[in-house]
Structure 1
Amino acid sequence: MKNLSLRWSDLDPNFHLRHSSYYDLAAQERIDILHQYGITIELMKAENVGPVLFKEQCEFKREIHLNSRIHIVTKLLKMKRDASFWVIQHEFLSEEDKLHALIKVEGSWIDTVKRKLARPAPEAIQSGLERFPKTEDFEYL
């Protein structure tokens, strides 16, 4: 769980969080969590892999304003056992745990030298994703 610190530049002309800010905040949270579980930028460089998204979808439920107290809960929803494909879910929640937005991203790993999908994912990445927080209904694909 990460508490958000919203900026004026995150707002749209209607004075609520602009749609692209949700995606930016979720992307940063994913990278922060990957880092916590050993999937660091340095590891990705050493392994010549990086995350690649196939699909990113957001359901907007309630507005978020500049002074809103919001946190993100990020968990793994689905994953192939070799970690070559995964679905991560981000919940934007109020202090009262009311859902304001739900983002789901589907992704994989790309070999940054060959510019092709890395299947299976390197062992260090598989290990890190195994420790990544999982939803209650998490499933292996």
Structure 2
Amino acid sequence: MSTHTQYKQIITTRWADVDANRHLKHSAYADWATHTRVEWLNSHGFTLKKFTELQIAPIIFEETTKYFKEIYMSEQITIDLMLVGLNHDASRYHLRQYFRRGDTVCAQYEIKGAWLDVASRRIAPPPPGLLEATTNLQRADDYAEIVSQTRQ
């Protein structure tokens, strides 16, 4: 039985992250969410150099953000990462991230994506190590297998 691992990152919002309304601008959510996922990948040895060696890259098909509470400059925010779904070979994934101020959920960010074999330009399962890191990631309460209509 595998243990599902929690991953969180604490960030401090910066001047460059805020808009004219003095709160976190919409594009900063995507930037910080991506930064958190990249740090998670790095923590498992999947650096940009490693992805280049393996000729694999993450791609995103869809991203959504739901905003609940404003986030202001210089606030410390915790961003977590969890698995919402994988398909049969883990080549496609659905991830969710919450932006929290303490116990308060300020935003929910989700992506649906896949792993791209750069050489063949086709969707492919993740390599060993990345497969284990992904399948061991904390699962959302509504986790479900992704069922594709078409295979690539």
Normalised by the length of structure 2, the TM-score is 0.83
Matches of 1:108 and 1:88, distance apart in 2: 11
Matches of 1:108 and 1:51, distance apart in 2: 6
Residues 7-52 of structure 1: CA distance to partner in whole angstroms, max 9, x if unpaired? 1011100000000000000001011112223433233222200000
State the shift of 1:134 in Å.
Answer: 2.2
The size of the alignment, in residue pairs, is 139
User: Is there any run of 5+ residues in structure 2 with no aligned partner, and where?
Assistant: 1-7, 147-152
The list of structure 1 runs, each at least 4 consecutive aligned residues, that deviate by more than 3 angstroms after superposition, is: none
Say if 2:48 is the partner of 1:46. Answer: no
- Other-structure match for 2:104: 98
The match for 1:11 among 18, 32, 43 is 18
- Identity %, equivalent residues: 27
Normalised by the length of structure 1, the TM-score is 0.89
The match for 1:76 among 74, 77, 83 is 83
Letter in 2 for 1:117: I
- Other-structure match for 1:35: 42
User: Is there any run of 5+ residues in structure 1 with no aligned partner, and where?
Assistant: none
Residues 58-91 of structure 1: CA distance to partner in whole angstroms, max 9, x if unpaired? 0011100013231111111111241100011010
- Other-structure match for 2:117: 111
